[in-house]
Structures are given as C-alpha cells and as structure tokens.
Amino acid sequence: MTGAVSDEGCVFCAAQAGDNAAALIVARGETCFVILNKYPYNNGHIMVTPNRHIGSLADATEAELGELMAWTRRGEMGLTEAYQPHGMNIGVNLGRPAGAGVPGHLHVHLVPRWNGDTNFMTVVGDTRVVPESPPKTLERLTPIFARLASQNR
C-alpha cells in the first residue's frame, strides 16, 4: 500500500501484502489490482481496486483513475472471454448507505450476468448458489488477465 493510512480491517489492504493465490488476486498493476470477490453474486465476480487506501474517485490520482479504468476494461474483456455472459453489471458503491461492503477503499465491481440467473434460492432462501469455487475461478482468469495486460489491452 502507498499513500493514505489504511484501516486496520481493510480486506483490500490486507490482500495486497499476501500471496496472489491465497489473497485471490487475479492481476496486479502499478497502482491498482484485480481481486475475486469472496462472496460473489455470480461466477467470475471480480473487483478492481487501487493499491492506496482511498474512499472515492475524487481521492484518486489521474494515474490511479487511468489504471482503474484500464483494468475495468480488461475485466470486461477477460470475463467475456472466460464466461461468455449475456450481460455484465459494472459499478462503484461509495459509502455504506450506497451499498459499499468496504466503504473506505474504492473498488469497482464486475459481475457477469446471464439470462435467468436470478433463481428461487436467492428470492426464497436468501441464499446464493455459485457453482465454481474461487480457486477454480482464479485458475481460469489469471492467464487471461496476464495475456490482456501483456498486450496492453
């Protein structure tokens, strides 16, 4: 982490210090990284986040914003290649009232979506069913993201 002081309990700051596989990090850039969501809404749910512990787009430098968007673009391309979704949710939640699970550390969610992917388990049982394990998702996405980054795409 560089710059601002992190919250002691920040999952993104803690993940950066660890091994990529253990931390579920798909790819690292100079100012940002891509990480799997530990509690995914669907297979392939990833997040792009700055290395620095910042809470909003307004706090990001031009370099961070540029790389954040570049990895978000690669995320869309990589998830499309890996999963062939019918659509994708891409979004930023700033602050807990807006739905941010980690309100102090900016991150962009990318969630692949398929026609009919909302099923009765979510509606009736308040339970999500995601058939692919995080290690399998990491294994699937890491080489795709490495290739996209090397092509500067």
Cβ 68 vs Cβ 47: under 8 Å: no
Catalytic position from the list 45, 53, 105, 107: 107
Q: Is 109 a catalytic residue?
A: no
* Distance set, CA 81 to CA 1, 95, 145 (Å): 30, 31, 10
53 alpha-carbon distance from chain centroid: 15
Q: Among 49, 42, 52, which residue's Cα sits nearest to residue 85? A: 42
Strands (E), the chain: 25-28, 32-36, 46-50, 87-92, 108-113
Go through the chain and tell me how many residues it has. 153
Task: Count the neighbouring beta carbons within 10 Å of the beta carbon of residue 45.
Answer: 21
Which positions are catalytic? 107
